[in-house]
Amino acid sequence: MMADQGEGLPDADADGGPVRHIPVLLPEVLASLDLAPGKIVLDGTFGAGGYTSAILAAGADVIALDRDPAAIQAGQSLVEASKGHLTLIHSRFSDLARYAPEGGLDGVVLDIGVSSMQIDEAERGFSFQRRGPLDMRMSSDGVSAADVVNRAKVSDLTRIFGFLGEEPQSGRIARAIEKRRLEEPFVTTRDLAGLIEIVTPRKAKDKIHPATRVFQALRIFVNDELGELARALFAAERVLKPGGRLTVVTFHSLEDRIVKKFFQDRSGKASGSRHMPLVHERAATFAPVGKSMVAASEDEASRNPRARSAKMRVGARTDAPPQADDLSIFDLPNLASLGKIGG
């Protein structure tokens, strides 16, 4: 399921090196939102402001969110330049319904990927190529990657690495972590990456660094990225106007699967099976827009490595009432509790 060598760290090359942040699928995203002056779009993942800047240039107003306080601070110059057309808020995008205007939104766009700004800062602890604290928290609070590595049970680490990182040696790495932390806790990114390099040495045919999948898994787990995405999709359904567009760009197969399942579930198609003749017709809350999935062109992927694994899915909100928030449609794994790990 690892579709691309850069998928584990979408803003980095195969060895975790820095890649300048360039908005992925920008023309396609702008077209999907059906922008016009006076429309209001919520950018749930502000990051470096790439999508927001382009949406503003098209004449629409933007409400932008980001859970990273550094991104909010860096975006203040754009807020000033927008002359009242941009509202920038420090928040998780799963809470986006709180910031929608009373009349609803004309569009919601989500770029589900870690920012290159975060990877490039050693003190954030996202990259195994830069020695820094083993942190990985996008919001700079809560349980860190070091907390998980030093406190989680071996069985939990195995499931985290195996499901969220699709790491085939998850059990072996988890047992090695347990043995090492009894002697000395993990503190830095290089502490963990160094151990993984010993346990699963890189082979000549390997396209990615041995630590890529484990670091990816820890980042997704620490930030509850899959749960955040699922809750954000439900929130967008509640606040989009009829005809409003929901555009989601993902960089990992697990994320794309969640978006795909959401749009399938909200399509209004009958549910059931050949073993259960009774089916339940539901009014569609989203109608497909364009192709079911849009990937980056070869030209864009060659110019921007981050785009190699990008997939965009778009739906237009119907006038049907929103459906219940049912996380079971996503088949999310039952992993360890962040709260219990944090003590």
Mean pLDDT of the chain, nearest integer: 86
Tens digit of pLDDT for each residue in 72-115? 999 999 999 999 999 999 999 999 999 999 999 999 999 997 65
Lookup: tokens for 157:
């680490």
Residue ranges at the known binding site: 49-51, 66, 93, 111, 118
Q: Hey, which bits of the chain come out as E strands?
A: 40-43, 61-66, 86-90, 105-112, 240-250, 271-273, 276-280, 286-288, 294-295, 311-317
CA atoms of 250 and 103, how far apart (whole Å): 28
Tens digit of pLDDT for each residue in 226-255? 999 999 999 999 999 999 999 999 998 999
Burial environment of residue 279 by CB neighbours within 10 A (0 to 12, 13 to 18, 19 or more):
exposed
Q: Which residues pair with 295 in a beta bridge?
A: 311
- Type of residue at 256: D
Residue ranges at the known binding site for S-adenosyl-L-methionine: 49-51, 66, 93, 111, 118
Q: How many CB atoms lie within 10 A of CB 312?
A: 23
Average pLDDT in the 214-233 region?
94
| CA atoms within a 13 Å half-sphere pointing along the CA-CB vector of 156 | 17
CA atoms of 97 and 240, how far apart (whole Å): 9
